[in-house]
Amino acid sequence: MKKWVFLLFLILFLSLPFIKIGSFFEPKVVIQKYNQSEYDEIKDGSSKNTHKIEITKEQIYQGSLLLVNSEYPVHPESIKSDVINVSTHNELVREFGVIDNEIYLSKDIASRFSEMITAAEKEGVRNFSITSGYRDFEKQDMLYQEMGSAYALPAGYSEHNLGLSLDVGSTHKKMAVAPEGKWIEKNAWKFGFILRYPKDKTEVTGIQFEPWHIRYVGFPHSAIMKEKNFALEEYLDYLKEEKHISAKISGESYTITYYPVSQKRAINVKDNSHYEISGNNMDGVIVTVYE
């Protein structure tokens, strides 16, 4: 009997190289949609155990789900308020390099990025560097004047003006072929980041493939976008169409609701729940409740 157990174990062990281990680490997202009457019940507050919070029009332009492109520019209230010079914070940059001493990032985003790079290092991927982070309008305009519209965006129309995006390089190879680029493409969603301009979404984003440009949107949004292969434009359209969804990811539950906002209004959230509110930089806000 022991011999059979040993042989079975040996067969399983020898089979491991042929198993696609990475597939176990893809997001497992189960989404529940709601009909109009269920959405109205949530929106109007007729659900039990909820309380009202007030939303102002300014909140359309604040948060981590803001869409910035040629149609929707950055508003002054959209810019992250915790921007720092990364090179002056050794506790954040010890895991990666910066190309010069003038790389600026939101401190919150830098911390989240550092957490992600620490995870990559544990898997043997460690040659990361930040080539660009937050840019103010003046710097963005200088870049646009120097490089032209083929390689840069006008001031106010770049995600770099928000403080939510950064360009990541490899110290050894171009990101399109580097292990660092492949790791980010596969794993960034786990830490709330997305590859903002994927190869197969040029027609959607209007921007050519940029394997170095990542953007923070937060979890669970990054997981849903990964699962559904959505660019940010597609994801926001999806939420606007569905209005209210529930998602279960690795055993954790989330509810996500889109609310149009034309002026100040009250919305309903569950009692004793943790929630986050982000505008979409267009016409409304998205409320994410962490169950």
CATH of the domain at 183: 3.30.1380.10
Is the pLDDT at 244 greater than 60, yes or no? yes
pLDDT at 17 over 70: no
Contacts of 66 (CB under 8 A, 6+ apart): 72, 74, 78, 162, 164, 278, 279, 280, 281
Do 83 and 201 belong together in one domain? yes
Per-residue confidence at 96, pLDDT binned at 50, 70, 90?
Answer: confident
Is 73 part of any domain?
A: no
Q: Write down which residue in 216, 240, 266 finishes a domain.
A: 216
Q: What is the pLDDT of residue 37?
A: 65
41, 210, 233, 234: the active-site residue: 210
In a domain, 71, yes or no: no
DSSP state of 267: E
Has 291 been annotated as catalytic?
no
211 preceded by cis ω (within 30°)? no
Last residue of a domain, one of 166, 188, 216: 216
Distance (Å, whole) CA 146 – CA 148: 6
Q: What is the pTM of this model?
A: 0.86
Residue 1 counted as domain residue: no
Q: What integer best gives the mean pLDDT of the chain?
A: 86
pLDDT at residue 90 in the model: 76
Same domain, 184 and 251: no
258 falls within a domain = yes
DSSP per-residue letters across 84-120: EEGGG-HHHHTTSEESSS--EEEHHHHHHHHHHHHHH
Same domain, 212 and 121: yes
pLDDT at 157: 95
CA Rg, the chain, in Å? Answer: 21
Compare 28 and 167 and report the one with higher pLDDT: 167
Q: For 189-201, how does the pLDDT look when each residue is reduced to its tens digit (9 = 90+)?
A: 999 999 999 999 9
Q: Which CATH number covers residue 264?
A: 3.30.200.180
- H/E run at residue 205: helix 202-205
Whether the pLDDT of residue 138 is over 60: the answer is: yes
Higher pLDDT, 222 or 17: 222
Task: Judge whether 159 and 80 are in contact, CB under 8 Å.
Answer: no
Considering only CA atoms, which of 160, 92, 88 is closest in space to residue 131?
Answer: 160
Measured CA angle at 190 (ends 187, 193), to 5 deg = 80
Q: Last residue of some domain: 216, 251, 279?
A: 216
Same domain, 41 and 152: no
CB atoms within 10 A of CB 23: 7
Q: For residue 72, is it within any domain? A: no
Residue linked to tokens 């027609």: 203
pLDDT bucket at 45, cuts 50 / 70 / 90:
low
State residue 47's pLDDT score: 61
pLDDT at 97 over 60: yes
What pLDDT band is residue 238 in, cutting at 50, 70 and 90?
very high
pLDDT reading at 49 higher than 60? yes
**154 and 115 within one domain:** yes
- pLDDT over 90, % of the chain: 66
Residues 100 and 126 in one domain: yes
pLDDT for position 13: 39
Q: How large is the average pLDDT for residues 172-190? A: 95
Q: What is the domain count for the chain?
A: 2
Same domain? For 95 and 164 the reply is: yes
Q: What is the mean pLDDT of residues 160-173?
A: 94
Is residue 280 within 8 Å of residue 238, measured between CB atoms? no
Domain ranges, residue 44: 19-65+229-291
Sign of CA dihedral 248, 249, 251, 252: negative
25 pLDDT band, cuts 50/70/90, is low
Same structural domain, 87 and 212: yes
Of all residues in the chain, the percent with pLDDT exceeding 70 is 85
| Secondary structure (DSSP) of 244-258 | EEEEEETTEEEEEEE
Residues 52 and 107 in one domain: no
Specify if 85 maps to a domain: yes
On whether residue 2 sits in a domain, the answer given is no
pLDDT tens sequence across 201-231? 999 999 999 999 999 999 999 999 999 999 9
Residues 121, 210, single domain; the answer is yes
Alpha carbons 244 and 266: distance in angstroms, whole number? 17
Q: How far apart are CA 277 and CA 21, in angstroms?
A: 35
Residues 129, 93 share a domain: yes
Residue 70 lies in a domain: no
Q: Which amino acid does the sequence have at 22?
A: G
Residues 61 and 83 in one domain: no
